[in-house]
Amino acid sequence: MDSILQFITACLIFVFVLVICVFTTRFVGNFNKQQYSNKNVQVIETIRIANNKYIQLLLVGEVYLVVAISKDQITLLTQLTKEELPEIVRAGGLENQPSFSGAFKESFSSVLERMKKK
């Protein structure tokens, strides 16, 4: 009987610790989201080119900047106008474009249709 009581107590403590972890994680996530939410600077796209080296497309106000970011420095590569950007960015971002899986599904279904006809 004593071991069952110890087991139930350990389980309750474990659940309590999990609940504390969930609320702490949510609090820290919301805090970071509020801290990094900025209306003047937006990261449009990020491409990793090596370990700790990235190229980012930033929207700063009305100006698009392409910057190279490494561990120790940030370098401005070029400044772009909206007309110089690819069509995918001018249309409002990547979320408006068909996904790779959708394009693959369409091409794969066309191959299946050709195979069925033979």
* Residue 48 token pair: 């990793």
| pLDDT tens string 76-97 | 988 888 777 766 555 555 444 4
Tell me, what DSSP letter sits at residue 38?
Answer: -
* Residue 49 token pair: 């080119």
Which residues, 6 or more positions from 69, have their beta carbon under 8 angstroms from its beta carbon? 53, 54, 55, 56, 75
- Model pTM greater than 0.85? no
| pLDDT tens string 22-60 | 999 999 988 877 777 667 888 888 899 889 999 998 888
Name which residue leads in pLDDT, 1 or 26: 26
Q: What is the pLDDT of residue 107?
A: 60
